[in-house]
Amino acid sequence: MTGFRTLFVKEIIRFWKVAFQTVMAPVLTALLYLLIFAHVLDEHVEVYPGVSYTAFLMPGLVMMSVLQNAFANSSSSLIQSKITGNIVFVLLPPLSYLEFFAAYLLAAMARGLMVGLGVLLAGFLFTDLTLAHPGWILVFAVLSSAAFACIGIMAGIWADKFDHMAGIQNFVIVPLTFLSGVFYSIHSLPAFWQTVSHYNPVFYMIDGFRHGFHDVSDVSPVHALAVILPVTLVLCALSLQMLRSGYKLRP
C-alpha cells in the first residue's frame, strides 16, 4: 500500500504545486462562460419551467470542468513523464499495474472534483442553486470523473507526443463535452441531433448531474446511471488491460 499511497500523493502534489494553472485557471474559465452566457441569455431563455438559465447552466459548467480536468490530469502527467523520461522512476519500483492505475485514477478524480467544487462554490455567488438530490450529484460527479480520468490514462499511455494529446483534447474531449447539453437541453435540438446526443455518454453525465440540482432532466437519473456505470466500468477495464499488457510503457 505504501507504493500506491506514495504515487497518489506525488500525483496530488504535482498538480497542487501548479494550482494556478491546474485549479484556479479552469475555475476562472468556467466562471467567464457563466458570466457571458448568463448575462446574454438569462432574460431570454428558460429551458425548464421555473429554472433560470444561469441556474440551468451551472451544473453543466461544473460537470464540464470536472471532466476536462480529470482528463487533463492523468493525460498530462503521463505524457510529460514519458517525454521527459522520468516515467522510469515509477516503472522501476515494485508497483503493480493495479496500484499504478488506482493512483493515477484517484489523483485525476481529485483534481476534477476539486475544480468542479471551485466552480460550484463560485457559482453560488451568481445564482441561487438548490441541491435537490445531493446523492445523485455525488454519484454522477464521481463516476464521470473516473470515466474521464481513465480516458486520460489511456490517452497518456498511447500518445507519443504533445501533438497527439492536443488532437485528443481538441477533437474528442472538447466536442464530447460541448455537444452534450452543457449550454442547452437536447430537446431544443432538431430530431437528428437529439438522436446523436443520445449516443454521447457525456450527455447522460451532465443530465444526471443536473437532475441532482433541479429535480428535472431530459432523461431519468436511473436511465443516465444505467448508461454511465457500464461506460465507466468498461473504461476502467480498458485502462487496466492497457497497463497490464505493458502497452507502450514496457514494450
Partner 1 sequence: MTPAVRVSGLEKRYGSVHALRGVDLDIQPGEFFALLGPNGAGKTTLISILAGLTRATSGQVQVMGHDVVRDYRAARVKLGVVPQELVFDPFFTVRETLRFQSGYFGLGRNDDWIDELLDNLGLTGKADANMRRLSGGMKRRVLVAQALVHKPPVIVLDEPTAGVDVELRQSLWAFIRRLNREGHTILLTTHYLDEAEALCHRVAMLKEGRVVALDRTEALLDNADERMLELRLETDELPPALAARLSGRAGDVYRFALRDFAEAEPLLGSLREAGIRILDMSVRQTDLEEVFIRIMAKGT
Pick one of 14, 198, 223, 248: the residue that binds partner 1 (CB under 8 A): 14
Cα–Cα separations (whole angstroms), residue 1 to 4, 78, 87, 107: 5, 21, 20, 15
Instruction: Work out whether 17 is an interface residue with partner 1 (CB under 8 A).
Output: yes
In whole angstroms, give the CA distance from residue 213 to residue 191: 26
Output the smallest distance, CB 222 to partner 1, in A: 42
In whole angstroms, give the CA distance from residue 101 to residue 19: 23
Q: How many CB atoms lie within 10 A of CB 231?
A: 18
Instruction: Work out whether 175 is an interface residue with partner 1 (CB under 8 A).
Output: no
In whole angstroms, give the CA distance from residue 232 to residue 40: 35
Output the smallest distance, CB 80 to partner 1, in A: 9
Output the smallest distance, CB 247 to partner 1, in A: 11
CB 248, CB 158: distance < 8 Å: yes
Q: Kindly indicate which of the ranges 6-14, 153-161, 172-180, 229-237 contains the residues binding partner 1, using the contact rule CB under 8 A.
A: 6-14
Cβ-based nearer residue to partner 1, 95 or 132? 95
Q: How many CA atoms within 13 Å lie on the side-chain side of 9?
A: 6
Output the smallest distance, CB 14 to partner 1, in A: 5
Q: Which distant-in-sequence residues (6+ apart) come within 8 Å of 97 by Cβ?
A: 240, 243, 244
Write out the binding residues for partner 1, residues 230-249 only, by CB under 8 A: 246
Cβ-based nearer residue to partner 1, 6 or 29? 6
In whole angstroms, give the CA distance from residue 205 to residue 137: 10
Q: Kindly indicate which of the ranges 2-10, 123-131, 149-157, 200-208 contains the residues binding partner 1, using the contact rule CB under 8 A.
A: 2-10
Output the smallest distance, CB 83 to partner 1, in A: 10
Coil, helix or strand at residue 103 = helix
Q: Name residue, grid cell 473516473.
A: 146
Question: Total residues at the site for partner 1 (CB under 8 A)?
Answer: 27
Output the smallest distance, CB 69 to partner 1, in A: 17
Cβ-based nearer residue to partner 1, 195 or 245? 245
Show the site string, 77-106: x = touches partner 1 by CB under 8 A, - = not: ----x--xxx-xxxxxxxxx----------
C-alpha cell at 38: 448568463
User: 145: closest CA among 80, 23, 228?
Assistant: 228
Residues interacting with partner 1, by CB under 8 A?
A: 2-3, 5-7, 9-10, 13-14, 17-18, 81, 84-86, 88-96, 246, 250-251
